[in-house]
Amino acid sequence: MHGKDEILGIDKRLHFGVCYYPDHWPQERWAYDMQLMRDAGLECFRWLEGSWTLVEPEEGGFDFSLVDAVLECADRHGLGVILGTPTYAVPAWAVERYPDIVARRRDGSAWYHGSRRCWDYTNGDYRRLCDRVVVELAQRYAKDSRVWAWQVDNEMWCHLDELWGEGVERAFQDWCRQRYHQPEALNQAWGLAFWSRQIAHFGQVTLPGPTPAHLNHHQVADYQRFLSDLAIGFLFGQRDAIKAVNPQAAVLHNCPFEPIDRPRLLEGLDIYGHDHYPAFAGGAAGRPQMGLNYGRFRRYAKRLWVVEQQASQVGQTSYRLPTAPPGDLSVSALQSIGHGCDLLAWFRWRSYPAAQETNWGGLLPHWGEPGRHYQEMSQLIATLRPHAEAIAATVPQVSVARICSFDQYLVHRAEGWIADRIGGPEVGRGALISLGLNEDQLRATDLDGRYQVALVPHAAALSLADIRALTAFAQAGGVVIIGPLAGHRDAQLHAPDQAPPGDLAALTGTSNAEATTWDEGELSLHEINGGSSVSAGHWAEIIQPVSEGVSICARYATGWLAGRGAVSQRSFGAGRVIHVGVALADPVLSWLWTECALPLPDQPLRVFTLGAEVLTRFGGGHRYHFALNHGEAPAVFEVRRMLTDLATGKLLTGPFTLEARSWRVLHEADPSSQALASS
């Protein structure tokens, strides 16, 4: 007997669905399509997020007859519906009547109506129109049992991640007033005494740019915070309208783009909906790294769904990426499941014959006849169905916590040289893939015992609470890796008034006060005990011990830096602290894991072929290992203890080969994880 999800009211197991847009097709076709879905094992579809004109063809004139008909047809075929609020694609009548709802460019000119996601979220008319259509939908359908969940809006900040214009500037001024209360507090926070930019009142605050000289990066960071708050407030307003009618309604948002405070957003939603299009990885070698994108959201998602999974080809009018070749649909879907997805919906059911996404393929082609993508999807669901409940009772095996708060992200967004010299917040992901490691991105204050390593790739903007959390993690037996910029910036992006690493010194036992970029080729590090050397990029901090028990384990071997400390290590409580003065790019991170003997999780299944990977889920007394070959060449996997092939029931040990774009799921009993089944 399946357990029930306490909010969704559906079985706790793997579920499969599709994005289906019945309003794009004749009503006579719906029953045929929905029967094909059921025949394949699909259980639900997502719809309506782009269909505002359908339900409100003229202002205030709502017509839900087609929605009613779709829900009735879906119910007859045993299909649930994930209903989207249609606020990212605005009707022509709204733009005609309220032209100021269209967003402005930096130069003040308006975008043209004719696409999506070109709206000014500070505009009162736009917000009023959105509120009304969401309330109307909620009042009619929020208590409808045929609706599994609600998706509010779609892909926030996709295409347009900044707003300009007089209305936006006034909203930014109000935001600054609420944050700082007094002009002098803002003057201090932004350093406005420099270049004589002090304000006397908040009406003098401007948007950041364009300017002939460099922008004030404190202003840029606050502008990003403002945009994040604006987006979250917009989405939560829709959530609240739905839950005002039915507090038990499940609400999700899918794949928000930057800038957004992900933990804050996800903590306010019932479900996170991911979009997974492996074609954007640029080839098989990039597929495993792209899978780590799940780590951006997984730690804070109460439930993890994929509401857009690549079905065939990907393309719009300006580009067309390769179609999913035979086997690829299954491998990429299993990648999503291996990373923790418990509901997977392919995008889309059928390719639309016109408009901007004519080149975006579906499970069915333009002519609507089932082909190899439909057949492959059907076979995958049939293979997984007997194990759907047990797999859903497991969680991904993740041993690395990548520490990256929204404040730390803003350091990179506001100071462009950091990404150029040190890398972005996700630097070193290729090394983790090669080591068979999975990661979650999280705030330091959310560290717990599920992780073995806390990786701080850029240690700027750490708060005292962050430092206390990292200290407790090391004391409890974890390994803390502190990367560059420790103590070089605080949360307001100021250079602190104490030598780096500041308050982190009690944890690292080091100083990294002297730092420099490096333009004379790449830096080189050498392990001090005669071990290996490694290239180390173009940023150097001189690491010097200032406490007992700290040892230098690598020194620079380049130019005037030669012989100076680059990496330190110390025992701390039951754990260790490593301080690295160079960019934690793939070569350095791989080298560090070997030279410092950093912990690895239990890995009974390994692969060392580029473009292949192993993902593990465990819990409920089970452990599932997903062996995936994304590439065009065979990949050899090594089974280090007896495992059972889920599809055949055969026992495996030793090496086996997966041909191009193929997969295996291997199972073993895991009594130690039994408690996870009820957590």
pLDDT digits (tens, 9 = 90+) for 629-666: 999 999 999 999 999 999 999 999 999 999 999 999 99
Tokens standing for residue 666: 């291997």
Q: State the burial class of residue 201 (Cβ atoms within 10 Å of its Cβ: 0-12, 13-18, 19+).
A: exposed
Confidence bin at 308 (pLDDT 50/70/90): very high
Q: What is the pLDDT of residue 361?
A: 94
pLDDT on residue 386: 96
pLDDT exceeds cutoff 70 at 450: yes
Q: What is the mean pLDDT of the chain?
A: 96
For tokens 């754990």, what's the residue? 575
| The predicted structure's pLDDT at residue 4 | 83
Whether 599 has a pLDDT exceeding 80, the answer reads: yes
Would you call 551 helix, strand, or coil by DSSP?
Answer: strand
Q: Do 637 and 658 touch, CB atoms closer than 8 A? A: yes
And the tokens for 547? 């406490």
Q: Higher model confidence: residue 678 or residue 513?
A: 513
User: What's 670's DSSP letter?
Assistant: -
- The answer on pLDDT for 157 being more than 60 is yes
Mean pLDDT, range 674-679, rounded to an integer: 51
Is residue 580 within 8 Å of 567, Cβ to Cβ? yes
Of the pLDDT bands very low, low, confident and very high (cuts 50, 70, 90), residue 679 is very low
Strand ranges in 452-521 using DSSP code E only, listed in sequence order: 453-456, 479-482, 510-511, 515-517
Q: pLDDT exceeding 70 applies to what percent of the chain?
A: 99
CB atoms closer than 10 angstroms to residue 218: 20
By the 8 A CB rule, do 236 and 268 touch?
yes
- Cβ atoms of 619 and 669 closer than 8 Å: no
Rounded Cα gap, residues 55 and 62, in angstroms: 5
pLDDT value of residue 528: 73
Would you state the pLDDT for residue 470?
99
Does residue 1 have a pLDDT over 70?
Answer: no
Asked if 512 contacts 489 with a C-beta cutoff of 8 angstroms, the reply is no
Instruction: Return the minimum-mean-pLDDT range out of 188-192, 353-357, 481-485.
Output: 353-357
Q: How far apart are CA 613 and CA 628, in angstroms?
A: 5
Lowest mean pLDDT among 166-175, 231-240, 355-364: 355-364
Global model pTM greater than 0.85? yes
- Quote the radius of gyration of the chain (alpha carbons, Å): 26
Residue 287, pLDDT above cutoff 60: yes
Task: Flag whether pLDDT at 531 surpasses 80.
Answer: no
What pLDDT sits at residue 494?
95
According to the model, what pLDDT value does residue 675 have? 58
* Residue 443 CB contacts under 8 Å (≥ 6 apart), including other chains: 263, 403, 405, 466
Cα 334 from Cα 582, distance rounded (Å)? 36
| H helical segments located in 181-252 | 183-190, 217-245
- 3-state SS, residue 142: coil
In terms of DSSP bridges, do strands 539-541 and 575-580 run parallel, antiparallel, or are they unpaired? unpaired
pLDDT above 60 (res 676): no
Contact at 8 Å (CB) between 674 and 621? Answer: yes
412: pLDDT confidence band, cut at 50, 70 and 90?
confident
Backbone angles phi, psi at 54, to 5 degrees: -60, -45
CA-based angle 420:425:430, to the nearest 5? 90
Using CA atoms, how far apart are residues 534 and 582, in angstroms rounded to an integer? 11
Residues contacting residue 391 through CB under 8 Å, at least 6 positions apart: 13, 14, 337, 384, 617, 622, 624
All domains in the chain, ordered by first residue: 15-90+140-160+250-394 (3.20.20.80), 400-595 (3.40.50.880), 605-678 (2.60.40.1180)
User: With bands split at pLDDT 50, 70 and 90, how would you rate the model's confidence at 342?
Assistant: very high
Whether residue 667 contacts residue 324, with contact meaning beta carbons closer than 8 Å, is answered with: no
pLDDT band at 6 (very low <50, low <70, confident <90, very high): confident
94: enclosing H helix or E strand = helix 92-97
The pLDDT of residue 2 is 58
How far is residue 296's CA from residue 298's CA, in Å, rounded to a whole number?
Answer: 6
Burial of 645 (0-12, 13-18, 19+ CB in 10 A): middle
Q: What is the mean pLDDT of residues 18-40?
A: 98
